[in-house]
Structure 1
Amino acid sequence: MNGQEDDVMTEFADSAKAGAKAATWVGIAVLLLGMLAIGMPFLTGVAITISIGVILLITGIAQLFFAFNSHSFGSGALRFGFGILSGLCGLSLVTQPGAGLATITLFLAVWFVVDGVFTVVNGISWRPQSGWGLMVGSGVIGVLLGVMIYSQFPTSSVWLVGLLVGIRLLLVGWTMIALGAVGRQVAKEIDTANV
């Protein structure tokens, strides 16, 4: 390699090292947040409910603003109605996060059942292709999970949302740490090739 190619490869290796280090540290932070969320599922669920409420409030205010700036009555009225609905839902979630958490839990129970049924039907329609049994099994687990959540309601609203968010954060954290390890390996191979 000539000097210019060496410089480019060295710069690329340095970037890979920096990216790998950042991914690892972010992964560790997200992993710790996931453990915290699993350890305190109710507080996590309430925090998420309030966050969703704030987002809906901001959306409602923005829609009302756009409704008053609309040039036609039809689109203005629709935006106004959507803004009022979003604002009221957001206000309800912020002021009554326990009831909001219960609503989100019921929604998730229904979603797991409906998604599970569709997954089972799709899996059966894929038969005899490979993987159809896995799809059916996944769908059955989804239905059972939805039924379990519903059968334990309202107790399930205390732990479900926080637990699901915590598990997701754990998976994201592990993924980031794994990406950091891959980045370090790539940087090491580039350094070895430059020697």
Structure 2
Amino acid sequence: MTTTNHASMLSRAFADVHAKWGWFVGLGLVFIVLGAVAAGNLLLATIVTVYYVSAGMIVAGVMQIVQSLRVKTWRGFLWWMLSGVLYAAAGVVTSMNPLLASVFLTLMLALLTVASGVARLWLGFQARTDHGWGWIVASGVVTAIAGLVFLLGWPVNSLWLLGLVLAIDLVFQGCALVGLGLRFRAA
């Protein structure tokens, strides 16, 4: 592809995005409103989050079962099949009792947050000779402390923590989309 063709393609793509800046802003505003609604009822948002996770587990399990049927000649066919069945079954069980599932998902969130913080601390200290390594360490400290706070509040925080994470994520995604849309408009 020549440089002229590449520049022309980029110009058309940018013009298309520029013309649709309002959709980015509109979608961002919807996300912000959904985040505010989630923040207004953290228990309901937690239950929605658990149903979302369970639906993902069911879909992934079914897809793995289908894939295992496509490779029946492989040596580990039965293990692939069993793994898919168990994954889908876990999704079904999760959807049957979302409050109980939120207890386990919150525990996993807390443990993984602590582990992520510790990993960032380790990476930051490994990079002591690099410029900016302190930011990595600071990020690790904040993340590890957040994970410990999650652990200390467990299992009571299982009723609202996943909903809070969803609400915050929706608001931040919404702000990012609004900012991106306004940037496209100005360009």
Using structure 1 for the length normalisation, give the TM-score. 0.82
What is the deviation of 1:119?
0.6
Q: Percent identity?
A: 24
Partner of 1:31: 32
What is the deviation of 1:21?
0.8
- The question of whether the paired residues in 1 share the 8 Å contact of 2:21 and 2:182 is answered with yes
1:54 is the counterpart of 2:55: yes
Equivalent AA in structure 2 for residue 104 of structure 1: L
1:185 is the counterpart of 2:165: no
- The question of whether the paired residues in 2 share the 8 Å contact of 1:20 and 1:184 is answered with yes
Partner of 2:139: 138
Q: What SS does structure 1 have at the residue aligned with 2:130? A: coil
Mapping 1:147-186, distance limit 5 Å = 147-186=148-187
- The question of whether the paired residues in 2 share the 8 Å contact of 1:66 and 1:76 is answered with no
Aligned length: 176
Specify whether residues 74 and 168 from structure 1 end up closer, same or farther in structure 2 by C-alpha distance, changes over 3 A only: same
Equivalent AA in structure 1 for residue 125 of structure 2: I
Equivalent AA in structure 2 for residue 86 of structure 1: Y
Q: Which deviations, in whole Å up to 9, do the C-alpha atoms of 1:22-81 show, x marking residues without a partner?
A: 111111001111111222222111112112212222332333344345432623202211
Equivalent AA in structure 1 for residue 166 of structure 2: V
Q: Output the aligned Cα RMSD.
A: 2.0
| Structure 1, unpaired ranges of 5+ | 1-10, 187-195
Specify whether residues 77 and 21 from structure 1 end up closer, same or farther in structure 2 by C-alpha distance, changes over 3 A only: same
What is the deviation of 1:159?
1.6
Using structure 2 for the length normalisation, give the TM-score. 0.85
Runs of 4 or more above 6 Å deviation:
11-14
Equivalent AA in structure 1 for residue 105 of structure 2: I
Equivalent AA in structure 2 for residue 95 of structure 1: M
